Amino acid sequence: MGTGPLEGITVVDVSSAVAGAWVSSHLAEMGADVVLIEKVGTPDVMRLTGAIIGDQSGCWVQMHRNKRGMDLDIRDPRGHEILMQLVERADVFVQNFRPGVAERLRIAWDDLSEINPELVYLSVSGFGPDGPYAHRPVYDPIIQSLTGMAEAQNGDFVKAVVADKTAAMTGANAVLGALLARANGAGGQHIEVNLLDSMLSWMWLEVFWNESVPDAQPTPTYSEWYSPWKTADGWVAANWVNMGQYARACAALGAPHLADDPRFATRAARLQNSDAQREEFAKLLVELTTAEALEALEAADVPCAPVLDRSEIFDDPQVRHNGTIVEHEHPTAGHIRTTRFPARFSKTPTQLERLAPGKGEHTDEVLAELGCSTDAIAALRADGIVA
């Protein structure tokens, strides 16, 4: 490792799935040296999620690049001691066990802060460390159900792990804040992030705008008016927020009279009458092909885009211009395609340093850095402590 703004930061990650592991993904993308620890003999669930070649899945090759992978039995006293040696040298520790598990494993904040007072320790959970739901098992759709996200999507789930990713982004930001506080003399600290709180915070701006000001007249939310439009041969996304965009959209689609319709003459009116507005524009757009609709709306400087399927993303002109998609040859998975880290740093640029690790790929390398001899590593492997 050696590029990015987090060069010199060391992370030990014992989390699994997405909400914890994607935290260390962000840190690894920015140059941190991340050691990802998996159970001996048991692959992380994300190795088994999506299209799979060998021990690499379509999820794994993106989420765990720029990390080193190590298999370690942290429940065994010898494995626990190795973990403690890693913690002594670490800046950040990430875990997403259910509340109480870290304490039983003797890797809770109180345990590790005694070894390394400067450690930034992140706990990620579904609902928080305590409370009526704290010990329940949870997956992304459960959080979508409890937070109102499913209702906001007209009664269905978002077909992506939005709660896990939202919690992970919250966790990554919190770790960066704690590292800055440490640099300013605060020392190490324990951060707690959970999916429920993260998802509600992320949704609050627009999904809960009526509940934010309960004395105001309720206004339809984006779930009523953020939907694509059917065309004669496909679908387009088009939105007009201000009056200028709305008036130009009316003229471009051959209905200038709608600009003066009192139901839609102001932003507030268009929100309140969103169903009627959709009916009017649906009749206009369904008569046009997607190409005709886009040509008219683009000429009028109205925000619009085709609704692409996933295969079309790779040929999108802006995606190609940005170099968003990067392609590599992986020793196990063969040809892979991932996205570049979205933030671009002018003085500390990031780059792909390592492809996603095979299971236990860097175990020997990490142990050697801790001073283990070849014979000692062989003995640990023979006893099933590492793999």
- Can you give the pLDDT at residue 274? 86
This prediction has a pTM of 0.94
Q: Is pLDDT above 60 for 348?
A: yes
Q: What is the pLDDT of residues 176-192, one digit of tens each?
A: 999 999 999 999 999 99
Amino acid (one-letter) located at 345: F
Report the CATH number of the 10-205+321-382 domain: 3.40.50.10540
The superfamily (CATH) of domain 229-306 is formyl-coa transferase, domain 3 (3.30.1540.10)
pLDDT band at 211 (very low <50, low <70, confident <90, very high): very high
Q: Is pLDDT above 80 for 378?
A: yes
Q: What is the pLDDT of residues 133-156, one digit of tens each?
A: 999 999 999 999 999 999 988 889
- In the chain, which segments carry CATH 3.40.50.10540? 10-205+321-382
- Can you give the pLDDT at residue 222? 77
In 78-234, at which residue ranges do the beta strands (DSSP E only) sit?
A: 92-95, 120-125, 189-194, 229-230
Q: Is pLDDT above 80 for 56?
A: yes
Q: Is pLDDT above 90 for 312?
A: yes
Show the DSSP H helices in 54-161 as ranges: 60-63, 77-89, 101-104, 109-115, 140-147, 149-152
- Can you give the pLDDT at residue 226? 80
Q: Is pLDDT above 80 for 337?
A: yes
Residue 55's SS3 state is coil
- Can you give the pLDDT at residue 287? 97
Residue 237: CB partners within 8 Å, gap ≥ 6? Answer: 228, 229, 304, 305, 306, 307
**Cβ atoms 198, 178 nearer than 8 A:** no
pLDDT band at 224 (very low <50, low <70, confident <90, very high): low
Mean of all residue pLDDT scores within the chain: 95
Q: Is pLDDT above 60 for 14?
A: yes
- In the chain, which segments carry CATH 3.30.1540.10? 229-306
- Can you give the pLDDT at residue 1? 47
CA distance 95 to 102: 8
pLDDT band at 2 (very low <50, low <70, confident <90, very high): low
